[in-house]
Amino acid sequence: MLETIEPESEVGSLRIAQLKGRSNYLCLRRWERMHQGGLSPDETRLLVRTMVWLTSTQTGDRSELNLSSGEVACWSAVSAQAESCPGAECPYYMNGLCFLYRARWRAECSHIIITNHALLLSDMVSESTILPDSSYLIIDEAHHLEEEATQELGFWVGEGDLEGYLDSLSALLPQVQTLIRSGQVEPPRRREITRLIEGLRGRIQDGRERLAQLFNRLGYFVELESLESGEYYERHLRLTRDARIQPGWIEAKLSWDNLSLPLVDIELGLGRLCSALEGVTEGILDHGLMMELSSLAYRGWELRSRMRSVISHPEMGVVYWVSVGRRGVTLHAAPLEVGERLWELLFSRKDGVVLTSATLSTEGSFDYIEGRLGLRDFRGLQIGVSFDYITSTMIYIPNDIPEPYHPQYHRAVEGVLVELCRAAGGRTMVLFTSHAALKRVHAAIQPPLEREGILVLGQGVDGSAKQVLNTFRTAERCVLLGASSFWEGVDVMGETLSLLAIAKLPFAVPTDPVFAARSELFEDAFNQYTIPQAILRFKQGFGRLIRSKRDRGVMVILDHRIKSKYYGQAFLQSLPPCMVKVGPSRNMPMEVMSWLGP
């Protein structure tokens, strides 16, 4: 299965390796434990799929597998999670078969290591030195760094996390009891361990009942206090000082006090159980089982600490909120600012750092990104565009479409899009800032366009983002409606994408908890924070249209604010020079056909 460790690629004497986070690699020890039975259908399918895959893989990287959503959910049970990893004591490690450590060894032997933002930042936060020491760092797509650091420095915990913790503990206790009964354990010690296990079972049951009560109250509180409709996205409620004095929150806090009692008892009981098992004759208990118990003890403490932080002991400089969505009720925390931590833990520790992206500047300046990332003593360089946008790209702005909050806006956009897509013969991508708007437009334009042989695909309506994008790339006459994930990172070359329509300028949702909290740090939040952030997103959207020197296309901006509001010019000035036309919407189909040609 595995042979001598070699660099992933080698150019001359230059050795290059890729390294990812723990959760990307299969843990052979945990994978073997999954064979013990009691598997769900998804777990069984994952086990069979990986069994075949193990005959050929050299990396153990899950990206080599095409997993279903159910199998993805089960992957965490066999991934190389830190909490259950015995490290050098693992037989697979000792035999050189551990995928995670093989990847690390490759990295140690390489001159260049390629990784992602998530591992870079998690390594920074934990100071666990997963990544080898380095003096120089290049961060591509650096406009994402603040968002990624916000996620890595924050946390979230939901009802499912606590349920999973209790379920995992419930599943391990019978295994311990079975091993104790089958081994040569003295009766007094066996009775003590059995008593501890029974005590844990009782507190686990108490925890389940009180857990349901707490999250029911949290969900009701969000429903009562939130101003969001929650048609598609999660409903969020920021836990401000005012929110924390509402009667509904006080009731939820009392429920948390009731839940924390059995959680503390479970932690203490687990500690006593682990101590009692340490004296059991060596060889009776599987070392991996002891690791699982120890990791669960840590996991319980971590979950309880996070819940306590959000509900009863909030810290300064942290944003807290509750959300209700498809994953149920979830508690969140995120740092108000990340620039100082990035400087302290990352930038200041390197001899040189290069940040690259097509969207680091707004109106020709790096001031915004400098402030958000805490950069010091840096030099900015803007490199000219490699495409001739003046001859390849036209921007058309209709001057007669109502502004987005006008009652007739949606109807006007729907009518315009039907005519535009007809004129372009499909070959169109429409970018939205909300799934609700996407679904509404999809329902309106699909019937008339598909009667004319133009396929209309909506993200989340006709399939996942990956599915609809793959279909769009191969279909001859197709329109793709996309939301957040389509504003960047999507490459469609040639005539397949010739028309790009922006439904609205991509302003952040004002009720987003982190955005709202950070806005309060500015004297003029709209101009200093909201507009620059939206411009960076707008530039990413524009970048979907022209992907090669041979491409030719039209971008239509269906948000009249780009001409009617003072800030509209800032959006246009952030784009490379293009042919810009302003006129009535009835002229757009003709202009599009003329620009794109036959």
Q: What is the pLDDT of residue 229?
A: 53
Task: Tell me the Cα Rg of the chain.
Answer: 28
Q: Are residues 512 and 544 in the same domain?
A: yes
Q: Percentage of the chain surpassing pLDDT 90?
A: 51
Q: How confident is the model at residue 358 (pLDDT cuts 50, 70, 90)?
A: confident
CATH code for the domain of 501: 3.40.50.300
Q: How confident is the model at residue 12 (pLDDT cuts 50, 70, 90)?
A: low
For 320, residues 6+ apart whose C-beta sits below 8 A from its C-beta are 238, 239, 309, 310, 314, 331, 332, 333, 513
Tell me the pLDDT of the chain averaged across its residues.
Answer: 87
Q: Are residues 414 and 555 in the same domain?
A: yes
| Residue 77 or residue 500, greater confidence | 500
Mean pLDDT along residues 475-502? 89
> What is the Cα–Cα distance from 327 to 325, expressed in whole angstroms?
5
| Residue 182 or residue 417, greater confidence | 417
The verdict on residue 485 lying in a domain is yes
Q: Are residues 159 and 139 in the same domain?
A: no
Q: What is the pLDDT of residue 5?
A: 45
Q: How confident is the model at residue 290 (pLDDT cuts 50, 70, 90)?
A: confident
The verdict on residue 4 lying in a domain is no
Q: Which of 235-244, 288-297, 542-551 has the highest mean pLDDT?
A: 235-244
Mean pLDDT along residues 34-62? 86
The verdict on residue 544 lying in a domain is yes
The verdict on residue 558 lying in a domain is yes
| Residue 78 or residue 84, greater confidence | 78
Q: Which domain holds residue 251?
A: 155-330
Question: For the segment 436-448, what is each residue's pLDDT rounded down to a tens digit?
Answer: 899 999 999 999 9
Q: What is the pLDDT of residue 9?
A: 58
Q: Under a CB-based contact definition with an 8 Å cutoff, are residues 42 and 68 in contact?
A: yes
Q: Are residues 530 and 409 in the same domain?
A: yes
Q: Are residues 405 and 449 in the same domain?
A: yes
Q: What is the pLDDT of residue 189?
A: 80
Supply the pTM of this predicted model: 0.84
Q: Are residues 80 and 209 in the same domain?
A: no
Answer positive or negative: Cα dihedral of 207, 210, 214, 215: positive
Q: Are residues 169 and 305 in the same domain?
A: yes
The verdict on residue 348 lying in a domain is no
Q: Are residues 144 and 183 in the same domain?
A: no
Q: Are residues 467 and 536 in the same domain?
A: yes
Report DSSP state, residue 529. Answer: I
Q: Are residues 107 and 172 in the same domain?
A: no
Indicate the helix (H) or strand (E) that contains 55. none
Q: Which two tokens stand for residue 280?
A: 């059991």
Mean pLDDT along residues 288-303? 84
Domain count, the chain: 3
Lowest-confidence segment of 5-14, 209-218, 222-231, 524-533 by average pLDDT: 5-14
Indicate the helix (H) or strand (E) that contains 332. strand 328-335
The verdict on residue 68 lying in a domain is yes
Q: Are residues 108 and 174 in the same domain?
A: no
Residue ending a domain, among 281, 297, 330, is 330
Q: Percentage of the chain surpassing pLDDT 70?
A: 93
Q: What is the pLDDT of residue 307?
A: 96
CATH code for the domain of 242: 1.20.140
Alpha helices in 89-185 (DSSP H): 91-94, 99-108, 117-126, 145-153, 159-182
pLDDT reading at 407 higher than 80:
yes
Q: What is the pLDDT of residue 8?
A: 55
Q: How confident is the model at residue 288 (pLDDT cuts 50, 70, 90)?
A: low
Q: Are residues 16 and 95 in the same domain?
A: yes
Residue ending a domain, among 341, 368, 397, is 341
**Residue written as tokens 């950070």?**
518
The verdict on residue 352 lying in a domain is no
Mean pLDDT along residues 415-424? 93
The verdict on residue 119 lying in a domain is yes
Residue ending a domain, among 341, 372, 404, is 341
Q: How confident is the model at residue 230 (pLDDT cuts 50, 70, 90)?
A: very low
Residue count of the chain, please give it: 598
